[in-house]
Each structure stands twice: as C-alpha cells, then as structure tokens.
Amino acid sequence: MGSHIPIKAQEKRNELIEQGLPLNMISAKLGITRQAVSNYIKVSGKSDKWKKERGRFKAAQKRKKTKARINEEKRIGAISR
C-alpha cells in the first residue's frame, strides 16, 4: 500500500479510526484529505469496525448534547423562579 504519511501519523490514523471519529476530524488532525482517510478505511478492511465505533461515537455525542440541554433548562428554570 503506497501510503504517503509518516509512520507515526499512520499509527495515529489507525488509533483515530478505531475511536470512530468523523472523517473530517481525522483528516484535520492528520493534515490529509478526507477522501484519503475514507479510501484507507475501505482498502484496509477497517470499514466495519469504523462504522461500529462511529455509531458509538454518535450516541455518546447525542447523550452529551441531551445532558447539556437538560442542565441548561434546569439553570434557566432556577433563574426564573
């Protein structure tokens, strides 16, 4: 496989993929294109694992947003009393 990124970056790329981070976030952290990350995931056979972890990442983000919204509503309710 003709990867053009340094070995340390390759290790970091694999770590970020295993965390299920969005393609945009992975590409920004590594300084490579989103398409390159997407192609690597497909070619390396990590697609299923990334999709599974991506679902978990999305669920965690959703929980964080819901929790933040509930806390904000509580804060607003406390102010208006």
Q: What is the pLDDT of residue 1?
A: 46
Q: What is the pLDDT of residue 81?
A: 58
Strand spans (E) along 2-77:
none
- Output the pTM of the full model: 0.70
In this predicted model, what pLDDT tens digit does every residue of 8-55 receive, in sequence order? 888 899 999 999 999 999 999 999 899 999 999 999 999 999 999 999
22/79: higher pLDDT: 22
Q: 3-class DSSP state for residue 35? A: helix
